[in-house]
Amino acid sequence: MPAVSKGDGMRGLAVFISDIRNCKSKEAEIKRINKELANIRSKFKGDKALDGYSKKKYVCKLLFIFLLGHDIDFGHMEAVNLLSSNKYTEKQIGYLFISVLVNSNSELIRLINNAIKNDLSSRNPTFMCLALHCIANVGSREMAEAFAGEIPRILVAGDTMDSVKQSAALCLLRLYKTSPDLVLMGEWTSRVVHLLNDQHMGVVTAAISLITCLSQKNPDEFKTCVSLAVSRLSRIVSSASTDLQDYTYYFVPAPWLSCKLLRLLQCYPPPEDGAVKGRLVECLETILNKAQEPPKSKKVQHSNAKNAILFEAISLIIHYDSEPNLLVRACNQLGQFLQHRETNLRYLALESMCTLASSEFSHEAVKTHIETVINALKTERDVSVRQRAADLLYAMCDRSNAKQIVAEMLSYLETADYSIREEMVLKVAILAEKYAVDYSWYVDTILNLIRIAGDYVSEEVWYRVIQIVINRDDVQGYAAKTVFEALQAPACHENMVKVGGYILGEFGNLIAGDPRSSPLVQFNLLHSKFHLCSVPTRALLLSAYIKFINLFPETKSTIQEVLRSDSQIRNSDVELQQRAVEYLKLSSIASTDVLATVLEEMPPFPERESSILAKLKKKKGPGAVSVNELEEGKREGGELNGGGERGGDSSAISTPSPSADLLGLRAGPPVTAAAPSAGSLLVDVFSEAGSGSLASYFQFVCKNNGVLFENQLLQIGIKSEYRQNLGRMYLFYGNKTSVQFVTFTTTLNVQAKPVEPLIEGGAQVQQVINIECLTDFSDAPLLNIKFRYGGALQNLTLKLPVTINKFFQPTEMASHDFFQRWKQLSLPQQEAQKIFKANHAMDTEVLKAKLLGLGMALLENVDPNPENFVCAGVIQTKAQQVGSLLRLEPNAQAQMYRLTVRSSKDTVSKRLCELLAEQF
């Protein structure tokens, strides 16, 4: 018999539990349980009415059986009966059973809700708490419907006991999470906020969780909580460790409440009121100071509680990202933790520094810890800590330290855990490409990568190195020499053979002058690997061979012999056989000139975004792409923008023509280089018929070309290109009549080059407008057109379809980073949301095309729901870059969409939301 039993100890239950524990096998346990279930069933069905105690005991046994992992399909009714018992202990077990095993049976829900209602109105605080706990534990919609109106009243009523208030606050929070539409604070808002001032610390602790959640969703209504939270925090931070009695935890005053206060403040921007802000900064400084004081206790609980507050304070400092002094102090503090003996602190410091690395104020300070982080990568015994260190190295990497970091990551790769190798390989490949100043270093790095971790080098990585070598002639000779050397190794990875085959086939001639790498030596080296390779690699090598015949006529007979051998020309693999046959024939019948033309050096690849980034984004690994991917865009964007001129006009549009060419905006046909996503959508001007008179301005949100306006007389076509914060728009004025338009003038509310004053019948004139986006904007520039047609003055005003989204640069990121960014943009005003009816058929491909046309990167495999679309991009304006994230959730059944946009600037979120709501 167990010696342990407390309170009312149900003896029968204890015996049953003992029996189960004594069962020697799973079968014996199941047998014992089935026996018990049969017993309970018969008791419940029996004629004799059970007393409350027995009912409680059996219900408790059922609960125990369920918690062991078995299914329970009866006893719910008996549990519900217990709810209306006036014995506390029976009621309590009844509620526990319901909380754990809630059943959606509508009949029961009605009965349960009735019992809860009775207890809520009983004015017995113990019963009220039980009922509130049950609602909070179940949190179903039915309960929200029944009680969401009642609970706020209980929460703020003057005569409610403190313990009931605490339960009510968290109960409401749970209901708000499940059914936000049913929980309406309305008139109670200000009284709920003032719970932050409550004398009872427990009430404040419970209420603040509710207030934080409500503030995230309704920031404006709750913004008065900021000053209250600051003054509460300030009182706690400055209190002596004994002031708060039982709310002091191991000499730390109210650690839970402090963390929650700091968390609540992260829902808002820094306080505008100078006094409040001053007080808050003081609090943050005090918290940072306390970290330097000697500990008041040696217990780990003391340091954990103290550091929990410190980390939350640092999160707030990073969230504000506006106090350079605090940011640097935070960074120094974290730097100390990097070498702390507690693994937990090292882990958290590495994690927190990752976000600090993306702030311009602390990026440099973070970089000073590079040696410590590298050391962590080498020596930490816990793989999850090493992973954090690798993430941080990736985040702190820039041009100044790229060589060192890449070298360290490469050496770590030699011994890295298998689980993270592929991700590490991608990170190294990205950093090497991103920060490559000299391309020989880049080539060395990638070849090293293949040598060290060949199995983890995905196709994207070796494709990319070939693309870059092909496109840059200054590195081709070096690449040929390096792969040639790498292939000398007795055992080299197949990926190395692929790269080697391709590069020597193209550029082997560059090293053929050296007798040690003469054409035949090169060929023999490649061919020595041939038999160890898979079919696709062999196919690639055969192509390299035919290229050799062109590059080095002296190898022709040797190679033809190889091609002619049975193992090639009769290879059972069709692809190999075909290549051998065709290449052999080609080399025997084509003249040197023809051969040279067919086998000419590969043309440069179109410059496009790194496919490796796309790959990394697909990998669902922690920290797959650095959080500062957006920031990166910022820094680089900054340099490019340097050439732009500010127009005299305060409007967002001006005409900075002189710098346009510098930025590679060509006057020719549509650019494909800048935005691959837009490329495919660039359609022939006028290919889409404008539907008569006023073509919608909104129609151009997701496309750049088309007919802006058309009537009987005039057709106006638009072709436009955008890059960074600059754009160029071509307007084509077509005279549809056979009569001249005279005194044709256009005025833009900003300056534009004049247009030809005369348009012949049937003719078209062109006008070019250069655009620079100085800052974000909502209003479109207006274009006024006046002309005389057969004596009658025509006057027309059109909105030029220049919308803020035209200045998007797509940003690729991985799921993890997307959500991290998303959470960072959690200020209420940073989000704009619209729910609207579908105007067009909900075709996935059409939606995708539209979102691509918007200019953001459409991110695959980010949203857990494959029906949803998420996009990321940075709007380039001269004044600043505005990172934006978008999520579109189609609901095919309701023919509705929900669109959510988060940007670092509120006006941008709002504007994007308005523009897009018209598109789908």
Partner 1 sequence: MQFMLLFSRQGKLRLQKWYVPLSDKEKKKITRELVQTVLARKPKMCSFLEWRDLKIVYKRYASLYFCCAIEDQDNELITLEIIHRYVELLDKYFGSVCELDIIFNFEKAYFILDEFLLGGEAQETSKKNVLKAIEQADLLQEDAKEAETPRSVLEEIGLT
Residues at the annotated binding site? 11-12, 43, 53, 57-61
Give the nearest distance from C-beta 377 to partner 1 in angstroms: 15
Q: Please identify, using beta-carbon distances, which residue of 319 and 615 lies nearer to partner 1.
A: 319
Give the nearest distance from C-beta 361 to partner 1 in angstroms: 22
DSSP state string for 98-155: HHHS----HHHHHHHHHHHHHHHTT--HHHHHHHHHHHHHH--HHHHHHHTTTHHHHH
Q: Are 837 and 896 in contact (CB under 8 A)?
A: yes
Q: Mask 268-307, x = binds partner 1 (CB under 8 A)? A: ---------------------------------x--xx-x
Segment 666-705, which members bind partner 1 (CB under 8 A)? none
Number of Cβ within 10 Å of residue 230's Cβ equals 24
Number of Cβ within 10 Å of residue 39's Cβ equals 13
Give the nearest distance from C-beta 63 to partner 1 in angstroms: 7
Phi, psi (degrees; rounded to nearest 5) at 322: -135, -5
Q: Mask 493-512, x = binds partner 1 (CB under 8 A)? A: --------------------
Q: Is 6 in the site for partner 1 (CB under 8 A)?
A: yes
Give the span between the Cα atoms of 789 and 758, in whole angstroms. Answer: 11
Give the nearest distance from C-beta 138 to partner 1 in angstroms: 9
Q: Please identify, using beta-carbon distances, which residue of 88 and 605 lies nearer to partner 1.
A: 88
Stretch that binds partner 1, among 170-178, 403-411, 449-457, 528-536 (CB under 8 A): 170-178
Q: Is 69 in the site for partner 1 (CB under 8 A)?
A: yes
Give the span between the Cα atoms of 119 and 140, in whole angstroms. Answer: 18
CA–CA–CA angle 151, 157, 159 (5° rounding): 125
Give the nearest distance from C-beta 64 to partner 1 in angstroms: 7
DSSP state string for 56-67: HHHHHHHHHHHH
Q: Is 126 in the site for partner 1 (CB under 8 A)?
A: yes
Give the nearest distance from C-beta 383 to partner 1 in angstroms: 9
Cβ neighbours of residue 67 closer than 8 Å, sequence gap 6 or more: 100
Q: Where are the alpha helices (H) located in 266-400, listed in sequence order?
A: 274-292, 300-320, 324-337, 343-356, 363-367, 370-379, 383-396
Segment 199-238, which members bind partner 1 (CB under 8 A)? 201-202, 205-206, 209
Stretch that binds partner 1, among 92-100, 467-475, 736-744, 898-906 (CB under 8 A): 92-100
Q: Is 347 in the site for partner 1 (CB under 8 A)?
A: yes
Element (H, E) at 789: strand 782-789
Residue 185: HSE in the Cβ half-sphere, 13 Å Cα cutoff? 24
Q: Please identify, using beta-carbon distances, which residue of 348 and 544 lies nearer to partner 1.
A: 348
Q: Please identify, using beta-carbon distances, which residue of 198 and 364 lies nearer to partner 1.
A: 198
Q: Is 344 in the site for partner 1 (CB under 8 A)?
A: yes
Give the nearest distance from C-beta 623 to partner 1 in angstroms: 9
Q: In this structure, are strands 726-735 and 714-723 parallel, antiparallel, or unpaired?
A: antiparallel
Q: For the chain, give the longest Cα–Cα distance.
A: 111
Among 26, 48, 298, 381, binds partner 1 (CB under 8 A): 381
Among 222, 311, 787, 789, binds partner 1 (CB under 8 A): 311
Q: Please identify, using beta-carbon distances, which residue of 223 and 263 lies nearer to partner 1.
A: 263
Indicate the SS3 state at residue 801: coil
Q: Is 103 in the site for partner 1 (CB under 8 A)?
A: no
Q: Please identify, using beta-carbon distances, which residue of 96 and 155 lies nearer to partner 1.
A: 96
Q: Please identify, using beta-carbon distances, which residue of 305 and 449 lies nearer to partner 1.
A: 305
Phi, psi (degrees; rounded to nearest 5) at 828: -55, -40
Q: Where are the alpha helices (H) located in 825-867, listed in sequence order?
A: 844-854
Q: Are 563 and 541 in contact (CB under 8 A)?
A: no
Among 44, 251, 730, 819, binds partner 1 (CB under 8 A): 819
**Lookup: tokens for 471:** 């496109």
Among 28, 38, 67, 596, binds partner 1 (CB under 8 A): 67
Q: Is 312 in the site for partner 1 (CB under 8 A)?
A: yes
Q: Is 89 in the site for partner 1 (CB under 8 A)?
A: yes
Distances (CA, A) of 564 to 578, 582, 584, 742: 12, 11, 7, 75
Stretch that binds partner 1, among 377-385, 574-582, 609-617, 755-763 (CB under 8 A): 377-385
Stretch that binds partner 1, among 133-141, 589-597, 781-789, 884-892 (CB under 8 A): 133-141
Give the nearest distance from C-beta 342 to partner 1 in angstroms: 8
CA–CA–CA angle 398, 400, 404 (5° rounding): 90
Give the nearest distance from C-beta 850 to partner 1 in angstroms: 28
Q: Is 44 in the site for partner 1 (CB under 8 A)?
A: no
Q: Please identify, using beta-carbon distances, which residue of 298 and 381 lies nearer to partner 1.
A: 381
Q: Please identify, using beta-carbon distances, which residue of 714 and 825 lies nearer to partner 1.
A: 825
Distances (CA, A) of 717 to 153, 750, 759, 768: 62, 20, 15, 12
Residues in the chain: 920
Among 87, 123, 153, 608, binds partner 1 (CB under 8 A): 87
Q: Is 827 in the site for partner 1 (CB under 8 A)?
A: no
Give the nearest distance from C-beta 370 to partner 1 in angstroms: 22
Give the span between the Cα atoms of 308 and 203, in whole angstroms. Answer: 21
Q: Please identify, using beta-carbon distances, which residue of 622 and 643 lies nearer to partner 1.
A: 622
Give the span between the Cα atoms of 247 and 255, in whole angstroms. Answer: 8
Number of residues that bind partner 1 (CB under 8 A): 85
Q: Are 94 and 113 in contact (CB under 8 A)?
A: no
Number of Cβ within 10 Å of residue 27's Cβ equals 9
Among 12, 477, 637, 676, binds partner 1 (CB under 8 A): 12
Q: Are 700 and 718 in contact (CB under 8 A)?
A: yes
Give the span between the Cα atoms of 884 and 810, in whole angstroms. Answer: 10
Q: Is 372 in the site for partner 1 (CB under 8 A)?
A: no
Number of Cβ within 10 Å of residue 661's Cβ equals 11
Give the span between the Cα atoms of 283 and 261, in whole angstroms. Answer: 12
Q: Please identify, using beta-carbon distances, which residue of 244 and 896 lies nearer to partner 1.
A: 244
Among 308, 370, 640, 765, binds partner 1 (CB under 8 A): 308
Among 84, 114, 122, 178, binds partner 1 (CB under 8 A): 178
Among 29, 32, 53, 896, binds partner 1 (CB under 8 A): 53
**What are the start-end ranges of the E strands in 139-262?**
248-249, 252-253
Give the span between the Cα atoms of 504 and 528, in whole angstroms. Answer: 14
Q: Is 60 in the site for partner 1 (CB under 8 A)?
A: yes
Among 229, 265, 280, 385, binds partner 1 (CB under 8 A): 385
Distances (CA, A) of 689 to 549, 695, 701, 763: 53, 10, 17, 18
Give the nearest distance from C-beta 7 to partner 1 in angstroms: 5
Q: Please identify, using beta-carbon distances, which residue of 385 and 748 lies nearer to partner 1.
A: 385
Q: Is 805 in the site for partner 1 (CB under 8 A)?
A: no
Give the nearest distance from C-beta 189 to partner 1 in angstroms: 20
Cβ neighbours of residue 218 closer than 8 Å, sequence gap 6 or more: 185, 828
Q: Mask 241-260, x = binds partner 1 (CB under 8 A)? A: ----xxx-x----xxxx-x-
Cβ neighbours of residue 325 closer than 8 Å, sequence gap 6 or more: none
Give the nearest distance from C-beta 52 to partner 1 in angstroms: 8
Segment 613-652, which members bind partner 1 (CB under 8 A)? 622
Give the nearest distance from C-beta 4 to partner 1 in angstroms: 5
